[in-house]
Structure 1
Amino acid sequence: MAKQFPQLEEAHQKFIEDQHMFFVGTAGAEGRVNISPKGMDSLRVLGPNRIVWMNLTGSGNETAGHLLQINRMTLMWCSFTTRPMILRTYGTARCLHVGDDGWDDLAGLFPNHRSARQIYDQSIDMVQTSCGYAVPFMEFQSDRDTMQNWVDGKSDEDIRSYWVERNSQTIDGKPTGVPK
């Protein structure tokens, strides 16, 4: 049975910390809904109604484009281990790029990563838990080193050029706000 909460409780925060990945869901006014898996050391709970996560370079940039249209975001975690549970945070989010006010303070919460493309700052207006009984058991083996290997083979200019060429529009052709 699903339960709603006005904010993250201590047990919710512990559950989030125990998960190796999470999912982000966004949608613009029209077009495709995006659900994307995220991992690595890229998320921090800053309070009962605030989560920030650092978005690293990827093949797409839907979240940024969607937030320019409609300022809403859902984050989701599910347990693949012994405790069956799904946890979602619903709310609004702002997108920060390198050089924006607040970037340096929030970026300092994470390990330095040359491909950090945005930081998302979610204000939570509802938390929901549900059973997760149908989520399969899976074992965490390790984080992938693929992102770091890709970054190691690129200059800073190469990474920024990639953003302009591949990340400046959503798959529906909407702008993402990537600095040019």
Structure 2
Amino acid sequence: MGKFYDHLPGTLIPWLMDQKVFWVATAPLAEDGHVSLSPKGYEETMHVIIETEDGESIDSQTITPDSAVNFKKARSTTVWYEDLTGSGAETIAHARENGRITIMFNAFEGPPNILRLFGTAKVYEFGTPEYEKLLPAEKRQPGSRSVIWVDVHKVGTSCGYSIPFFSYKGPRNRLRKFAAVKEQEDYDHYISCVAELENSSDTTSNGSAPPAVSDLPPEKGLKNYWRFRNPKSIDDVPAVQTAFESTKPLGDWRVRGAKYYVPDDESIPSKDHHIIIERGLISDAGKLLTGFGIGVLATTLLYRWAHGAH
């Protein structure tokens, strides 16, 4: 039987943080609008604000094996995750318009479990004070475009008995690599603009402001991607609005280095996982009759061949 809580029990937090993927569901207010269901899965993107028995608030990503947190007496009513750049921006649009959101986790290993967080979402885009506080330059990942902050008002658990077992192989690196290249284009353009401003004669001749220089590289960079690919949802609800206007530079990943894990393994799985093993009297009898028929046919053909040879 499912259970409901008005908060996230502390005993479920370690399990939640061990999950490698979660799903985010949102929808626009329009009756004919499209419901969005988006999978998320990069390490260190999900954060739970843990409320301890002593009244402290701890970010789950700061916990180490030596941290003394009594999860039996802890709880949480707030989570947030680092929203990475994608081809769409449905979650940002819906959260900005109405805030309704559900986040779901489920077990692929160990005992079955499904966990849903029902809440109200806020969007903090790259360059806003809230974003900078939560994700300063040294902590953000390549492609990070916003923080999705969720105030949780209901938590539901259910069995998950029908969910199959899956083994975790590793993260994909494609998005990190794509975003690091795009951000580097922005950063290199930013450095060239700074150099141009520093060398401008206007700043020394009459003290007036230097000539205006675009902060976006023409037809390049991640900010232009946000500007032209992420401004609205598929239902024309406003999505990314300010991140591309921020004068704050994106990451210099050539110097800092992006964290890549094992190489992506996108090999095609073997086809034997499609084999259906049938069991039961009818299926077994069918296999027996099929085998008997093939045997009779083969014997008949062999007899005729032998008789014709003589």
Offset at 1:110?
8.4
Contact 2:23–2:39 (Cα < 8 Å) also in 1: yes
How far, CA to CA, are the matches of 1:52 and 1:108 in structure 2?
A: 15
Match of 1:56 in 2: 84
Contact 2:95–2:123 (Cα < 8 Å) also in 1: yes
1:106 partnered with 2:134: yes
Q: Which amino acid aligns with 2:109?
A: T
User: Matched residue of 1:83: which SS?
Assistant: coil
Report Cα offsets for 1:96-147 as digits up to 9, x if no partner.
0122232122114984223111101100000000001111110101010111
How far, CA to CA, are the matches of 2:96 and 2:158 in structure 1?
A: 30
How far, CA to CA, are the matches of 1:10 and 1:110 in structure 2?
A: 29
Comparing both structures, which one devotes a greater share of its residues to strand? Answer: 1
Contact 1:54–1:120 (Cα < 8 Å) also in 2: yes
Contact 2:142–2:180 (Cα < 8 Å) also in 1: no
Offset at 1:152?
2.9
Q: CA RMSD of the aligned region, Å?
A: 1.6
Match of 1:42 in 2: 45
Distance change >3 Å, CA 109–CA 23, structure 1 → 2: farther
Contact 1:114–1:151 (Cα < 8 Å) also in 2: yes
How far, CA to CA, are the matches of 1:56 and 1:68 in structure 2?
A: 16
Contact 2:230–2:240 (Cα < 8 Å) also in 1: no
How far, CA to CA, are the matches of 2:40 and 2:241 in structure 1?
A: 19
Number of residue pairs matched by the alignment: 180
How far, CA to CA, are the matches of 2:27 and 2:138 in structure 1?
A: 26
1:122-137 paired onto structure 2 within 5 Å: 122-137=150-165
Report Cα offsets for 1:54-87 as digits up to 9, x if no partner.
1000011001111122111111000001210000
User: Matched residue of 1:151: which SS?
Assistant: helix
Match of 1:77 in 2: 105
Could you list the structure 1 runs, at least 4 aligned residues long, displaced by more than 2 angstroms after superposition: 108-112
1:27 partnered with 2:21: no
Report Cα offsets for 1:18-37 as digits up to 9, x if no partner.
10011111011020010100
Distance change >3 Å, CA 45–CA 25, structure 1 → 2: same
> For 2:177, which of 103, 128, 149 is the aligned residue?
149
Contact 2:227–2:240 (Cα < 8 Å) also in 1: no
Ranges in structure 2 where 5+ consecutive residues have no aligned partner: 51-75, 187-215, 245-310
- TM-score, normalised to structure 2, is 0.56
Q: Which of 1 and 2 has higher RCO (CA within 8 Å, sep 6+)?
A: 1
How far, CA to CA, are the matches of 1:138 and 1:128 in structure 2?
A: 23
1:120 partnered with 2:123: no
Higher mean displacement: 126-135 or 157-166: 157-166
- TM-score, normalised to structure 1, is 0.94
How far, CA to CA, are the matches of 2:142 and 2:223 in structure 1?
A: 10
Contact 1:42–1:110 (Cα < 8 Å) also in 2: no
Match of 2:203 in 1: none
Match of 1:10 in 2: 10
Aligned identity (percent) is 31
